[in-house]
């Protein structure tokens, strides 16, 4: 049977990495409360929605300032369709119909024949 002297000794306690304040003992187990964060600095200028817009009525300016991301995304989508549709139309027509001409490029020939036969709306 093993005697008590043969058992390993427990490791010594580790030193505290941060010295404890005098009002806190290890037996208390509660840290003092943190100080509140500092208040945010006051704004240097009024928010953009309170400034009058030079070109829009106040109600329309208010709507545009509250929904600026939606207005920007809608404008980008409409612009993309308006600019990209003619290129997509020419690409699709060239994939379906052959437009070979020896004197000019097939792309310009497709654009010309579409404009002549269907006008600006083709």
Would you state the pLDDT for residue 50?
57
Q: Is 23 left (phi over 0), alpha (psi -120 to 50) or beta?
A: alpha
pTM of the model: 0.41
Would you state the pLDDT for residue 27?
54
Give me the half-sphere count of Cα atoms (radius 13 Å) on the Cβ side of residue 17.
Answer: 0
Would you state the pLDDT for residue 20?
60
Give pLDDT < 50 ranges for the chain: none
Would you state the pLDDT for residue 79?
95
Spatial separation of the C-alpha atoms in residues 24 and 111, rounded to whole Å: 84
Question: Which residues, at least 6 apart from 110, have a Cβ–Cβ distance to it below 8 Å?
Answer: 90, 93, 94, 97, 99
């Amino acid at each position: 049977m093993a005697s008590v002297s043969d058992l390993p000794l427990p490791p010594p306690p580790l030193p505290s990495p941060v010295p404890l304040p005098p009002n806190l003992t290890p037996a208390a187990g509660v840290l003092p409360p943190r100080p509140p964060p500092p208040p945010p600095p006051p704004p240097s200028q009024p928010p953009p929605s309170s400034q009058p817009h030079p070109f829009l009525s106040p109600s329309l300016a208010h709507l545009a300032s509250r929904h600026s991301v939606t207005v920007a995304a809608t404008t980008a989508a409409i612009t993309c369709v308006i600019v990209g549709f003619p290129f997509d139309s020419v690409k699709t027509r060239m994939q379906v119909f052959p437009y070979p001409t020896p004197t000019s490029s097939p792309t310009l020939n497709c654009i010309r024949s579409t404009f002549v036969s269907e006008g600006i709306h083709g």
